[in-house]
Amino acid sequence: MTYQETLDYMFNSLPMYHRIGKAAYKADITNTVELMTHLGNPERGFRSIHIAGTNGKGSVSHFLASILHRSGLKVGLYTSPHLIDFRERIRIDGVMIPPERVVDFIERNCSFFEAHDLSFFEMTVGMAFEYFAAEKVDIAVVEVGMGGRLDSTNVITPLLSIITNISFDHTQFLGDTLAKIAVEKAGIIKPQVPVIIGQTQPETESVFRVKAAEEGAPIIFADHHYKVYEELNSPLQPSSSFGVLNFSVEKNGTPFFSHLCSPMAGNYQLKNLVTLMQALEILQMQGFAIGETAIRQGIERVIADTGLHGRWEQIGSKPAVVCETAHNEDGIYEMLAKLRELKYSRLHIVYGCVNDKDYRYILRLLPPEADYHFTQPSVPRGLEVSILADAAREEGIVGTAHATVAEAIADARAKSLPDDLILVTGSIFLVADVFAGIAAGSIANTK
């Protein structure tokens, strides 16, 4: 098979959650365990860090991978979903898995996939773990897909488990209370393996403490020890653009780092950076030589080092155009807090989402005074823009409807003044369409 034929097989023959939703979800890791046995148990062939959470797990994963790489290690990184190229999910030192390795893996194992009715995600986990083991990475950073307890990635025994936070998302699978969702996320806690909880929440703290005690796992709540503050008057390059976050760090009430800079400028990154700092401390205690230079460079160069995109990322100026993957209640609240800090003339929101989100509730959270340009992600789960626009109208929000995000951004730009802000948000898949459009030339990157 060619690489394109291989992708067609993977996307069309294997159930794929981000395309079809619930029909591809399996509340069981038996298939993954059998796949690992079939592959010779590659999950035992490398050290790892396992990261779960409702929001922030992707950012923390990429920050860690970048810093560990800058520390001189060979670092595997497994994340999901991808934006443009499937190979974004599987990287070593920021470099995507070669196409020929993808083709070879599928050709060798497709009969097993079909005989065991594997999903796309299960297959992808097997590919990543075999690749990391074969390439002898020093450590792999592994992001949970959904939940934790029954996620396919949960066949590893890591050096460190991390749970960033708990919010309402995927409630049809994970539960309808924060405590129930926390139980699923806590499933990554392993015997005697330290676990970091990024955000202390009254509804979930006891869930994590009980599970950690059952497993004999040391538990650390990162926000009990670290605080991260935005530096509004930093001596670094001023945050004149909407895409730079200058910050400082306190540890146990004492200044720890100052004048750090991140290209991911969303307010929620302040919480992610707290989690990151605690993770780095534990890794240093475990013998990893992670110095200040690697930390500073790893944070500042995270996009270049790991290919992460779409976390409050500016792609245009005059008017400013920012892409933000916020798609659930917690993410939207953080996004709104960021908006309140910024100075702009008028706000234009390009919005599209998937059909299994509570989009009516999210619409009620969005600022009614903005100009809206509705569209839809180009995945089968994408909510039809006509349905979205009708729902918005019923919630008192009137906007224009567009078949593609490229058309929506073009309309927003045409109606904007240089001091306006265009925010593209609602789904990681909508943001994926933006970067696919930039790559294809249908959307201009004017930053």
pLDDT digits (tens, 9 = 90+) for 355-364: 888 899 999 9
User: Is 18 part of any domain?
Assistant: yes
Measured CA to CA, the distance from residue 81 to residue 58 in angstroms comes to 10
Across residues 312-319, what is the average pLDDT?
A: 90
Residues 208 and 340 in one domain: no
Residues 276 and 360 in one domain: no
Highest mean pLDDT among 245-254, 307-316, 328-337: 245-254
Please name the amino acid found at residue 9. Y
Structure tokens at 116: 């065991």
User: Is 61 part of any domain?
Assistant: yes
Residue ranges of E strands in 281-407: 313-316, 320-324, 347-351, 371-374, 399-401
Across residues 333-354, what is the average pLDDT?
A: 91
Residue ranges of E strands in 16-122: 48-52, 75-78, 90-92, 95-96
More confident residue, 63 or 167: 63
Residues 104 and 183 in one domain: yes
Residues 176 and 35 in one domain: yes
Mean pLDDT, the chain, rounded, equals 91
Residues 291 and 361 in one domain: no
Indicate the Cα dihedral angle 183, 187, 191, 192, nearest 10°. -70
Residues 132 and 237 in one domain: yes
Domain that holds residue 366: 313-440
Asked which of 28-42, 203-217, 322-336, 368-382 is least confident by mean pLDDT, the reply is 322-336
Structure tokens at 345: 């003339």
- Check: CB of residue 416 under 8 Å from CB of residue 319: yes
More confident residue, 235 or 400: 400
User: Is 53 part of any domain?
Assistant: yes
Give residue 17's pLDDT: 43
User: Helix 178-185 crosses helix 205-215 at what angle (to 10 degrees)?
Assistant: 30
Please name the amino acid found at residue 401. A
Residues 317 and 363 in one domain: yes
More confident residue, 393 or 445: 393
Give residue 244's pLDDT: 83
Give residue 168's pLDDT: 64
- Confidence bin at 19 (pLDDT 50/70/90): very low
| CA angle (172 as vertex; 395, 426 as ends), nearest 5 | 45
pLDDT value at 370 more than 50: yes
Measured CA to CA, the distance from residue 413 to residue 417 in angstroms comes to 8
pLDDT value at 194 more than 90: yes
pLDDT value at 99 more than 90: yes
Measured CA to CA, the distance from residue 425 to residue 323 in angstroms comes to 6
- Confidence bin at 14 (pLDDT 50/70/90): low
Give residue 328's pLDDT: 78
Kind plus residue range of the DSSP H or E element containing 277: helix 269-285
Residue carrying the six token digits 């006891």: 206
Measured CA to CA, the distance from residue 78 to residue 286 in angstroms comes to 22
Give residue 300's pLDDT: 95
Give residue 18's pLDDT: 45
Residue carrying the six token digits 């009254």: 202
Structure tokens at 3: 């690489």
User: Is 446 part of any domain?
Assistant: no
* Domain of residue 357, CATH code: 3.90.190.20
Residues 395 and 298 in one domain: no
Q: CA-based Rg of the chain, rounded to a whole angstrom? A: 21
Q: Which residues contact 127 (CB under 8 A, 6 or more apart)?
A: 90, 97, 102, 105
Give residue 24's pLDDT: 42
User: Is 447 part of any domain?
Assistant: no
pLDDT value at 26 more than 60: no
pLDDT value at 95 more than 90: yes
Across residues 229-236, what is the average pLDDT?
A: 71
- Check: CB of residue 434 under 8 Å from CB of residue 424: yes
* Domain of residue 35, CATH code: 3.40.1190.10
Q: How far apart are the first and last CA of the chain?
A: 39
Domain stop point among 273, 306, 339 = 306
How do strand 160-163 and strand 48-52 relate by DSSP bridges? parallel
> How would you write 344-385 as a 3-class SS string?
CCCEEEEECCECCCCHHHHHHHCCCCCEEEECCCCCCCECCH
Residues 352 and 432 in one domain: yes
Across residues 212-225, what is the average pLDDT?
A: 98
pLDDT value at 23 more than 50: no
User: Is 445 part of any domain?
Assistant: no
Task: Provide the phi-psi class of 152: left if phi over 0, else alpha when psi is between -120 and 50, else beta.
Answer: alpha
Asked which of 281-295, 302-316, 418-432 is least confident by mean pLDDT, the reply is 302-316
Classify residue 192 by burial, with Cβ atoms within 10 Å: 0-12, 13-18, 19+.
exposed
pLDDT value at 71 more than 70: yes
- Confidence bin at 228 (pLDDT 50/70/90): very high
Asked which of 50-54, 152-156, 233-237, 415-419 is least confident by mean pLDDT, the reply is 233-237
Domain stop point among 268, 290, 306 = 306
Domain stop point among 266, 284, 306 = 306
Give residue 331's pLDDT: 82
Classify residue 191 by burial, with Cβ atoms within 10 Å: 0-12, 13-18, 19+.
exposed
Across residues 70-91, what is the average pLDDT?
A: 95
Residues 325 and 260 in one domain: no
User: Is 428 part of any domain?
Assistant: yes
Give residue 357's pLDDT: 81
Give residue 233's pLDDT: 65
Residues 302 and 335 in one domain: no
- Confidence bin at 210 (pLDDT 50/70/90): very high
Structure tokens at 391: 């729902």
Give residue 16's pLDDT: 56
In this structure, what DSSP letter does residue 153 have? T
User: Is 263 part of any domain?
Assistant: yes
Residues 295 and 317 in one domain: no
Number of domains in the chain: 2
Instruction: Give the count of alpha carbons within 13 A of 185, CB side only.
Output: 34
Tell me, rounded to whole angstroms, the distance of Cα 66 from its chain centroid.
Answer: 15
- Confidence bin at 15 (pLDDT 50/70/90): low
